Structure 1
Amino acid sequence: MSLYPYSYAILRAVPRVERGEFVNVGVIIYCQQLDFLRAAAAIDPDRIRALDHGADIATIERAVDAVLAACEQSTGSNRENSGLVTRFGMLTAPRSTVVQPSPVHVGLTSDPQATLEQLIDRLVRAPR
């Protein structure tokens, strides 16, 4: 079984940017050697409203959906420095919006799709 390096960032809903409080709502994962860029989300409106009862859930969902869609769009080759690596960099760049990426973390995987699902379970979904 071969292991490949990957990078990931957690998507955070920040309903009141000025307070800096957040709820994890998704994960973006990138594996250059496998040309793999995907994101998954699990938005829990109740957890977000615990930070701000007036949070605009629809806006947060649209922002997360835009990230998911950006990961699905076709792109050029990363070997030309214009492909998935650039897109991952753009999606994980710091920003002051209601959906923000965490710092980028790294790991090793033999199956990036399975790793994405594990990260969503471990880092996003509420503990059971």
Structure 2
Amino acid sequence: MRSPYEYAVIQAVPRIERGELINVGVLLYCQQRDFLAARTHLHEGRLLALDPDADLEGIRAALASWETTCAGDGASRVMSLGERFRWMVAPRSTVLRAGAVHMGLAEDPEAELDRLLTLLVR
């Protein structure tokens, strides 16, 4: 049986004043399956083409925090999965941000997350 899910592409915007970005991950939430996870992939060459001075280590660390927030580490421990998802997709002006939220249907949210990462990021 397919379940509805919501997802957003995680974007890196190394120089916010320029507005240029690359896709670096996907965040997927499926309420029916109690599933929230992020998958990330940083294509360093693309990022450095936008900003040769980009802090790759800092961006990698920030990307890892998206995955740990989904898992409920740190301050997100007291939040429900839905609250974590909404917090992560809220508009922000930082090097990493979530794009627009989209909907879909999937039998296996984890497999769908991997598919979306391949399709939209890799």
TM bracket (short chain): over 0.9
How far apart, CA to CA, are the structure 2 residues paired with 1:97 and 1:62?
14
Match of 2:107 in 1: 110
How far apart, CA to CA, are the structure 2 residues paired with 1:19 and 1:72?
32
Matched, 1:43 2:42: yes
What secondary structure, in the 3-state scheme, does the structure 1 residue paired with 2:92 have? Answer: coil
Shift of 1:16: 0.2
Shift of 1:106: 0.5
What secondary structure, in the 3-state scheme, does the structure 2 residue paired with 1:19 have? Answer: coil
Q: Which amino acid aligns with 1:38?
A: A
Q: Which amino acid aligns with 2:10?
A: L
Over the aligned positions, Cα root-mean-square deviation in angstroms equals 1.2
Counterpart pick for 2:116 among 112, 119, 125: 119
How far apart, CA to CA, are the structure 2 residues paired with 1:47 and 1:63?
17
Describe the superposition over 1:50-97 as per-residue Cα deviations: whole angstroms up to 9, x where unpaired: 111111111111111111100112756xxxxx5111110001111000
Aligned residue pairs total: 119
Matched residues, percent identical? 45
Q: Which amino acid aligns with 1:108?
A: L
Match of 2:66 in 1: 67
Match of 2:21 in 1: 22
Give the TM-score normalised by structure 1.
0.89
Structure 2: stretches of 5+ with no match in the other structure: none
How far apart, CA to CA, are the structure 2 residues paired with 1:66 and 1:17?
20
How far apart, CA to CA, are the structure 2 residues paired with 1:18 and 1:29?
28
Structure 1: stretches of 5+ with no match in the other structure: 77-81
What secondary structure, in the 3-state scheme, does the structure 2 residue paired with 1:5 have? Answer: strand
Match of 2:51 in 1: 52
Give the TM-score normalised by structure 2.
0.94
Structure 1's consecutive aligned runs of 4 or more residues displaced over 6 angstroms after TM superposition are: none
